[in-house]
Structures are given as C-alpha cells and as structure tokens.
Amino acid sequence: MRKTPTAMTIAGSDSGAGAGIQADLKTFAALGVYGTSVLTAITAQNTVAVTAVHEIPTDVIEAQIDAVVSDIGADATKTGMLSSSAIIECVTTALKKYAQIPGLRRLVVDPVMVAKSGDTLLKEEAVGALRDLLLPLAAVVTPNIPEAETLTGLTISTDEDIRKAARQIVAMGAASVVVKGGHREGPATDVYFDAGTSGSSHRLGSRRPTPTAPDALSPQQWLRDWPRVSRPRTQWDKPRNSSPRPSAVLFPSDRDTVH
C-alpha cells in the first residue's frame, strides 16, 4: 500500500487561520500530504492586526520536534514564524540532530518577518540568526520582496534587483530560492533560482493562494524528486562562503512557460 507523504511545519499559530500552521496544514491536506506541526508561538491576530504574541519555550519546541520525528517522521519540513534568535538556534540544532533523515534536509524556509496587517513577527536581533544559521540548511528559501530586501540589504524594484537578491541569498548557503513577486506592481510572478551544480532558474506561474506549494509537481513527485536539490549532510556543516557559485538567472521576460 502506498504511504501517504508527511510534512512537518515548524511555525506560529494564527488565530485567524490565514497564515501560520493553520494555513500550512490546510495546504498539506489539500495536496494529499499528512501534516504535523511544531508550534513556536501563539499569536492573537485576525485580518486587521496582531494584538498579542506568546513565544513557546525552546525546550517545548524541541520536545515537539522530537515527538514528531521519533514516531511519525517527516518527508519534508517547512519553517515559518521563528520570532527570536533563541528559537532559531533551537530549531537549527534540532534539524541538525536529525540530519540523517532526508525529510529534515528537504527544508523549506519561509522567512516570516511581518504579518499581512503590518505587525512585526521577527525581532530585529533575530535577522542575523536567520541568515547565518537557518538559511544554509534550506533546500528552498521563499522570501517575498520585503523579506528579500531585509535579508540582503538591497532595495528591490526591478528584475535586475531580484537577480542580485537571489544571488546573495544562495551565497548565504541556501540550495535554491523562490523570490515571491506579490509585492510588485503587475502580475504576481515568482522567480525560482537553483544554485545547484548546473544552475537553473525558471518562471513560476501566477501564484495560487496557498503557502509555499510548488506549482509544477504533485506532492508525491515533489518529495520523490527533492533529493536532487536537498543538500547532502556534509553541506550542512560548511561555512556560508563554501556554497556553490550561482549561475545566470532566467527571468519572466526570458521564459514564458511554467516549470
């Protein structure tokens, strides 16, 4: 009998269910994936504002990861709201502890920084930890334009700016990046950049209203094919400047088909 793929989301709770673990779990279910969750924070929020945030103690976060991995396992992992450097360090340490499990190396890092209401979800002191500790473990990083600007220090308004940002993010150690285009004027076109040995990038079509779900592959294909973009274990321990040199980027104007 075919095993149902599993995915673990490590993120905050959104009481309005428009983002956070609630949105992740709904997306997983819609794609036929059994979702598990590790709660990093509880937020009181709706479509208007975030009115309260309570961070989960790091020992409880670690215990949740241990509980999921030791029993149910994970074919892929996604991080969302990791609001402090202490939480980022906790999650990074746990991921490395289970580095022999491929599903924890199939890591999507959504660098959540600001809620749609404009409220801050990532402390300023944690940006460096996110950049230095978590990004080098990522198979895919999925920043929107403001998040890419914060990570790189660039002002992004053109395709060339996205090109520079993508190069900088993979230079931080990520295997690939999807720069989400929803904050630019015009069609919401995402740009995917692969920093692998051959180097490739593609236009992704107009995004569906679901968080960080690849457009082209079914969940079963995605999880099966990800070893080719997931870093081998030795890469997890390399310093940031040892990441592969990125090759040229193709942008929407260069390629019209959706991949």
Extents of the domains making up the chain: 6-242
Quote the distance between the C-alpha of residue 105 and its chain's center. 12
- Say which residues have a Cβ less than 8 Å from residue 221's Cβ, sequence separation at least 6: none
Structure confidence at residue 223 (pLDDT): 53
pTM recorded for the entire structure: 0.79
pLDDT: is 201 or 36 the higher one? 36
End-to-end CA distance of the chain: 30
* Dihedral sign, Cα of residue 112, residue 152, residue 233, residue 198: positive
Structure confidence at residue 249 (pLDDT): 37
Structure confidence at residue 81 (pLDDT): 95
Segment among 9-13, 49-53, 161-165, 200-204 with least mean pLDDT: 200-204
Residue 118: pLDDT band (50, 70, 90) is confident
Percent of the chain with pLDDT over 90: 58
Structure confidence at residue 161 (pLDDT): 87
Q: Which fold has domain 6-242?
A: UDP-N-acetylmuramoyl-L-alanine:D-glutamate ligase (3.40.1190)
Dihedrals phi, psi of 234, to nearest 5 degrees: -60, -30
Rounded CA Rg of the chain: 17
pLDDT: is 170 or 205 the higher one? 170
3-state secondary structure of 130: helix
CB 12 within 8 A of CB 21: yes
Q: CA-to-CA distance for 40 and 201, rounded, in angstroms?
A: 32
Q: CA-to-CA distance for 167 and 164, rounded, in angstroms?
A: 5
